[in-house]
Chains A and B, each alone.
Chain A
Amino acid sequence: MSADFLYGIEVVINGLMAGVLYALVALGFVLIYKASGIFNYAQGVMALFSALTLAGIMSGQVPFSHLINAIFGTDIHYFGWNVPVLAAIILTLIVMVIFAWGVQRYVFRHLVGQEPIILFMATIGLAYFLEGIGDLMWGSDIKTLAVGLPQGGSRFVEDTTAGLGGDDFFGFFIDKLDMVATVIAIILVAGLIAFSQYTKQGRAMRAVADDHQAALSVGISLNFIWVLVWSLAGLVALVAGIMWGAKSGVQFSLSLIALKALPVLMLGGFTSIPGAIVGGLIIGVGEKLFEYLIGAPYLGGATENWFAYVLALLFLVFRPQGLFGERIIERV
Chain B
Amino acid sequence: MKMKKLAAMALAGTLAAAPAMAELVIPDLSYRTGPYAAGGTPFSDGYQDYFNLLNARDGGIGGEAIRIVECETGYNTEKGVECYESTKGEGALIYQPLSTGITYQIIPKATVDEIPIHTMGYGRTSAANGEVFNWVFNYPANYWDAASVMVNYLLEENGGDLSGKSIALIYHNSAYGKEPIRTLEELSAMHGFELSQLAVDHPGQEQKSQWLQIRRERPDYVLMWGWGVMNQVAVQEASNIGFPMENFIGNWWAGAEHDVTPAGAGADGYKSLNMNRIDADLPVFGEIRTLVHEAGNAAGDGSNVGSVLYTRGMYAAMLAAEAIANAQEIHGVTDVTAAMVRDGMASLEITEARMAELGMSQIGPEFSVSCENHGGSGLGIVQQWSAADSQWVALTDYIAPDDSVIDPLIAADSAAFAAENNIEPGCL
Let me know if B228 and A305 touch, CB within 8 A: no
A244 within 8 A of partner (CB): yes
In the bound assembly, the distance between CA atoms of A7 and B36 in angstroms comes to 34
Pick out which of these stretches binds chain B: A221-229, A249-257, A266-274, A321-329: A249-257
Q: Does B421 contact A (CB under 8 A)?
A: no
**Interface residue from B35, B216, B264 paired with A253 (Cβ < 8 Å):** B35
Contact B35 A252 (CB under 8 A): yes
Selecting from A32-40, A138-146, A198-206, the interface stretch reads: A138-146
Q: Across the interface, which residues of B come within 8 angstroms of A73, CB to CB?
A: 296
Size of the B side of the interface (Cβ < 8 Å), in residues, is 44
Chain A residues near B264: list those with CB within 8 A. 144, 146, 151
A-B contact count (CB 8 A): 126
Contacts of B261 in A (CB 8 A): 142, 144, 249
Q: Which residue of A lies closest to B35 (CB)?
A: A253
- Answer whether residue B200 sits at the interface, using C-beta atoms and an 8 A cutoff: yes
Interface range, A side: 35 or more
Chain A residue nearest to B302 in the complex (CB) = A75
- What chain B residues lie within 8 Å of A146 (beta carbons)? 264
A251 with B216: CB separation less than 8 A: no
A252 in contact with B232 (CB, 8 Å)? no
Complex Cα–Cα for A18 and B258 (A): 24
Picked from A77, A144, A260, the residue with its CB within 8 Å of the CB of B301 is A77
Q: Are A140 and B32 touching (Cβ within 8 A)?
A: yes
Please indicate the chain A residues that have their CB under 8 angstroms from the CB of B209 in the complex.
11, 288, 291-292, 295-296, 301, 304
A123 to B210, CA, bound (A): 34
B201:A141 contact, CB within 8 angstroms: no
Are B35's CB and A256's CB within 8 A? yes
Tell me whether B32 and A142 are in contact (CB under 8 A): no
Contact pick for A153, options B33, B201, B229, B241, CB 8 Å: B241
Instruction: Give every chain B residue within 8 A of A300 (Cβ-Cβ).
Output: 197, 199
Flag B193-229 by CB within 8 Å of A: 1 or 0 each.
0000111110111101110110110000000000011
**A254 to B232 alpha-carbon distance, docked (Å):** 12
- Any B CB within 8 A of the CB of A248: yes
Binary contact readout B34-45 vs A (1 if CB under 8 angstroms, 0 otherwise)? 111110010000
Complex CA–CA separation, A152 to B236 (angstroms): 8
Chain B residues in 8 Å Cβ range of A252: 33-35, 37-38
The answer to whether the Cβ of B111 comes within 8 Å of any Cβ in the partner chain is: no
Would you call B188 an interface residue if the criterion is a C-beta within 8 Å of the partner chain's C-beta atoms?
no
CB of B303 within 8 A of CB of A77, answer yes
A170 within 8 A of B: yes
How far, in Å, is A67 (CB) from chain B's closest CB? 11
Find out whether the CB atom of B173 lies under 8 angstroms from the CB atom of A152. Answer: no
A288 CA / B340 CA spacing, docked (Å): 54
CB within 8 A of A141: which of B41, B198, B205? B41
In the complex, A252→B35 CA distance in Å? Answer: 5
CB of A257 to closest CB in B, whole Å: 6
Within B312-327, the residues touching A (CB, 8 Å) are none
B98 within 8 A of A: no
Which residue among B32, B41, B205 has the maximum number of chain A CB atoms within 10 Å of its CB? B205
Whether A152 and B233, one on each chain, are in contact in the complex, defined by CB atoms closer than 8 angstroms, is no
| B242 CB-CB contact with A under 8 Å | yes
Tell me if A's interface is mostly helix, strand, loop or mixed.
helix
Does B266 make an interface contact (CB < 8 A)? yes
Query: Do B236 and A296 have beta carbons less than 8 Å apart?
Result: no
> Shortest distance in angstroms between B313's beta carbon and chain A's nearest beta carbon?
15
Closest chain A CB from B7 CB (angstroms): 42
Tell me the bound Cα distance from A10 to B208 in angstroms. 11
By beta carbon, the residue of chain B nearest A18 is: B208
Task: Output the residue of B35, B197, B208 with the most chain A CB within 10 A.
Answer: B208
Contact, CB under 8 Å: B199 / A301: yes
CA distance A280 to B242 in the complex (A): 27
Taking a contact as CB atoms under 8 Å apart, the answer to whether B236 and A247 are in contact is yes
A302 with B262, Cβ < 8 A, contacts A7-B216, A140-B38 known: no
Contact in complex: B212, A301 (CB < 8 Å): no
Output the least CB separation between B299 and chain A (Å).
Answer: 12
B396 on the A face (CB < 8 A): no
CB distance from B257 to the nearest CB of A (A): 9
Asked if B203 and A256 sit within 8 Å, CB to CB, the answer is yes
Among B204, B205, B262, B303, the residue within 8 A (CB) of A142 is B262
Q: Do B199 and A173 touch across chains, with their CB atoms under 8 A apart?
A: no
Residues of A within 8 A of B (CB): 7, 10-11, 14, 18, 65-66, 69, 73, 75, 77, 131-132, 135, 139-142, 144-146, 151-153, 170, 173, 175, 244, 247-249, 251-257, 260, 288, 291-292, 295-296, 300-302, 304-305
Q: Which B residues lie at the A interface, using CB under 8 A? A: 32-38, 41, 173, 197-201, 203-206, 208-210, 212-213, 215-216, 228-229, 232-233, 236, 239-242, 258, 261-264, 266, 296, 301-303
Known: A10-B212, A252-B37. 6 other contacts (CB 8 A): A135-B33, A153-B240, A249-B261, A288-B209, A302-B199, A305-B201
